[in-house]
Amino acid sequence: MPTPIRFDNSYIRLPARFFAALAPTPVAAPKGVRVNVALARDLGIDPDWLAGDDGVAAIAGNALPPGAEPLAMAYSGHQFGHWSGQLGDGRAILLGETVVPDGRRYDIHLKGSGRTPFSRGGDGRAALGPVLREFLIGEGMHALGIPTTRVLAAVTTGESVLRQEGPLPGAVLARVALGHVRVGTFEHFAARDDDEAVRILADYCLARFYPALAEGPERYARLLETVIARTAALIAKWQCVGFIHGVMNTDNMSISGETIDYGPCAFMDVYHPGTVFSSIDHGGRYAYANQPRIAQWNLARFATALLPLLGAEEPAAIAAAQTAIDAFPAQFDAAYLAGMRAKLGLAGAEDGDRALVADLLERMADRHLDFTNTFRDLADGVDCEALGDWRDAWAARRARGATSAEAMAAANPVYIPRNHRVEAALAAAYEGNLAPFDQLLEVLRAPFERRPAFVIYAAPPAAHEVVEATFCGT
Ligand code: AMP
Ligand code: MG
């Protein structure tokens, strides 16, 4: 039999203090739920193997696939602005990595796979709902062109997990990412004054994520600048689709520039800059409009951790770090404005474009307009009366430079993972019915193409369907 996953593991070759080597904890009665067939094929993994007994046992943690070298990654981080000096994978296991034909290396990572030395008070497990939620939102983000982890497969465990809502069916997911190194991984070693580890980790990230920069004495400054640029581009994409991550702690900010750790995240329906969904975000720290500022704050923690690598003299290193961090707002702004110009079908760049966008958003907030549908209506030529004389300013601007209707449609999704639809799919799944999950997934995989059968998926929630808060499921 051919090897089901061609592992080629690198993280486990790092020094022992980077992780705890341990296997997932077996579960009582594993059962396959869903396999991401397209993703499996892209990775050269046979989807039939994944869906069969051996694949299910591998994801459940009951049988290690050949070549896996399981470990829990060590990291720390700032949570809601406060330092947590020891986090780490408390319910996740990196099985190993696989390299696809184009040379890209992906982590194969389990979540909900049992306790680790980093579990603290947690049970190491995940419930079915959050696992399917991560599946839906990850695929939705991917189809929207946003760098993200993706779920490869989900299984149930035959065990129940106790959560706020009561006992829930347990589940494990396998997810795939360019990498799970976080800002918090760097902070972990910097906080221990372990300059050697910070250097090893930086060289590892350069070689793995940014090989073009991996040589020369300036490589650490380049790493910092590149992670800043990637993150600015990522957050701009979030803002352009109304995605709210919910827990932008530094342990949830990836060095590879991907969206990771889907917890209480959600897409906005009605536009309001202060929108918060996370049930644990009482102060609104991670509200929609704060995301760029928070990303910059997180990147400043990254820069601080890198200081020993940025120069032998501390003042010079601090100055270099500061310059890099100060570049974030302009980079974010440029990416955001480019994204908004595309959404509004504006060709070329004019000084007034920023104000045109701001005016639109203000009116959307005042009039409680749906974020996704307002933009798509503009793309579809619907006359949005609620926008008043903004329409004249927009038309005048478009008269001086406009993109095609097709280009505009391609920048404005019809379908996003609307919270009420996600919650309905999860509720049905808890009742044993995966049909709503399957259909929502199909809708989300082609978000730009309006399909008559799917009208309800473009509709904002009715008053009684509005979801006020989302939970991590921890
Ligand atoms: P998160 O908020 O999901 O990014 O998690 C923050 C930290 O809590 C990480 O160290 C997680 O591994 C850990 N954690 C979250 N949920 C659990 C759980 N059920 N059991 C053990 N550790 C957990
Ligand atoms: Mg996390």
Packing angle between helix 219-241 and helix 291-306, nearest 10 degrees? 170
* pTM reported for the whole predicted model: 0.97
Residues 6+ apart with CB under 8 A from 143: 444, 445, 446, 447
Task: Give dist(CA 354, CA 340) in Å, integer.
Answer: 9
| Ligand 1 geometric centre to CA of 92 (Å) | 8
Q: Is 337 helix (H, G, I), strand (E, B) or coil?
A: helix
Looking from the CA of residue 249, the nearest atom of ligand 1 is: 4
Task: Give dist(CA 100, CA 330) in Å, integer.
Answer: 35
| Ligand 2 geometric centre to CA of 53 (Å) | 29
The pLDDT of residue 469 is 81
Q: Which of 19, 73, 87 to mutate to test the pocket of ligand 1 (most atoms within 8 A of CB)?
A: 87
Beta-sheet pairing, 166-177 with 126-127: antiparallel
Task: Give dist(CA 208, CA 441) in Å, integer.
Answer: 31
Residue nearest to atom 22 of ligand 1 (CA): 90
- Beta-bridged to residue 111, according to DSSP, are 92, 173
Q: Which of 91, 157, 472 to mutate to test the pocket of ligand 1 (most atoms within 8 A of CB)?
A: 91
Rounded to 10 degrees, the C-alpha dihedral 181/184/187/189 comes to: -50
| Ligand 1 geometric centre to CA of 280 (Å) | 14
Ligand nearest to the CA of 89: 1
End-to-end CA distance of the chain: 38
Task: Give dist(CA 288, CA 284) in Å, integer.
Answer: 9
| Contact by Cβ (8 Å): 306, 198 | yes
Task: Give dist(CA 233, CA 254) in Å, integer.
Answer: 13
Looking from the CA of residue 125, the nearest atom of ligand 1 is: 19
Which uninterrupted H or E stretch holds 172?
strand 166-177
- Catalytic (active site) residue 251: yes
| Contact by Cβ (8 Å): 240, 267 | no
C-alpha to C-alpha distances, 186 to 55, 119, 200, 397, 437, nearest whole angstrom: 33, 20, 10, 46, 37
| Ligand 1 geometric centre to CA of 119 (Å) | 7
Looking from the CA of residue 261, the nearest atom of ligand 1 is: 4
| Ligand 1 geometric centre to CA of 371 (Å) | 31
Which is the catalytic residue, given 8, 107, 195, 251? 251
CA angle 252, 443, 100 (to 5 degrees): 55
Task: Please tell me what DSSP assigns to residue 367.
Answer: T
- In this predicted model, what pLDDT tens digit does every residue of 152-192 receive, in sequence order? 999 999 999 999 999 999 999 999 999 999 999 999 999 99
The pLDDT of residue 473 is 54
Ligand nearest to the CA of 247: 1
How would DSSP label each residue in 236-257?
A: HHHHHHTEE-S---GGGBBTTS
Ligand nearest to the CA of 246: 1
The pLDDT of residue 59 is 98
Looking from the CA of residue 89, the nearest atom of ligand 1 is: 12
Residue nearest to atom 13 of ligand 1 (CA): 90
Contacts of residues 460-463 at CB distance under 8 Å and 24 or more positions apart, as own/partner, are 460/269, 460/270, 460/370, 460/373, 460/418, 461/269, 461/418, 461/419, 461/420
Read off the tokens for 410.
């391609």
Residues 6+ apart with CB under 8 A from 221: 310, 320, 324
Task: Give dist(CA 218, CA 96) in Å, integer.
Answer: 30
Amino acid 391 reads R
Amino acid 104 reads R
- Cα–Cα nearest to 466, from 262, 269, 327: 269
Q: How many CB atoms lie within 10 A of CB 348?
A: 11
- In this predicted model, what pLDDT tens digit does every residue of 213-264 receive, in sequence order? 989 989 999 999 999 999 999 999 999 999 999 999 999 999 999 999 999 9
The pLDDT of residue 377 is 98
Q: How many CB atoms lie within 10 A of CB 302?
A: 26
192-222 b/e with 16+ CB inside 10 Å = b?
eebeebbebbbebbbebbbeebeeeeebbbb
pLDDT, tens digit only, all 474 positions of the chain = 578 999 999 999 999 999 999 999 999 999 999 999 999 999 999 999 999 999 999 999 999 999 999 999 999 999 999 999 999 999 999 999 999 988 999 999 999 999 999 999 999 999 999 999 999 999 999 999 999 999 999 999 999 999 999 999 999 999 999 999 999 999 999 999 999 999 999 999 999 999 999 899 899 999 999 999 999 999 999 999 999 999 999 999 999 999 999 999 999 999 999 999 888 898 999 999 999 999 999 999 999 999 999 998 999 999 999 999 999 999 999 999 999 999 999 999 999 999 999 999 999 999 999 999 999 999 999 999 999 999 999 999 999 999 999 999 999 999 999 999 999 999 999 999 999 999 999 999 999 999 999 999 999 999 999 988 876 554
Distance, CA of 398 to chain centre? 33
| Contact by Cβ (8 Å): 467, 461 | yes
Residues with Cβ within 6 A of ligand 1?
A: 87-92, 118-119, 122-125, 247, 251-252, 261, 263, 472, 474
Q: Which of 119, 128, 247 to mutate to test the pocket of ligand 1 (most atoms within 8 A of CB)?
A: 119
Residue nearest to atom 8 of ligand 1 (CA): 90
| Ligand 2 geometric centre to CA of 279 (Å) | 16
